[in-house]
Amino acid sequence: MSRDHAIRVASPTEQTNPNTRDIDLLPTLDVLQLFNSEDRTVPEAVGRVLPELAEAVDLAVAALRSGGRVHYVGAGTSGRLAVLDAAELIPTFNAPPDWFIAHQAGGPEAYQQAVENAEDDEDAGAREIRAQGSDKDFVFGLAASGRTPYVLSALTAAKEIGATTALLTSNPDPGEVPADVVIAADTGPEPISGSTRMKAGTAQKLVLTSFSTAVMIKLGRVYSNFMVSMLATNAKLRGRTINILQESTGESEQACADALTAAGDDLKTALVHLLSGADVERSAAALAVADGQVRDALRSLEG
Q: What is the set of active-site residues?
A: 88, 119
3-state secondary structure of 181: strand
Nearest to 143 by CA among 123, 125, 116: 125
Buried b / exposed e over 20-33, threshold 16 CB at 10 Å, is: beeeeeeeeeeeee
Q: Under a CB-based contact definition with an 8 Å cutoff, are residues 186 and 12 in contact? A: yes
Residue 17's CB: how many other CB atoms inside 10 A? 18
Nearest to 51 by CA among 154, 223, 156, 185: 185
Query: Torsion over CA of 217, 76, 137 and 131, rounded to 10 degrees?
Result: -150
CB atoms within 10 A of CB 225: 8
CA dist., res. 263 & res. 181, Å (int)? 42
* Residues paired with 169 in a beta bridge: 184
d(CA 92, CA 90): 6
| Alpha carbon distance 53, 214 (integer Å) | 10
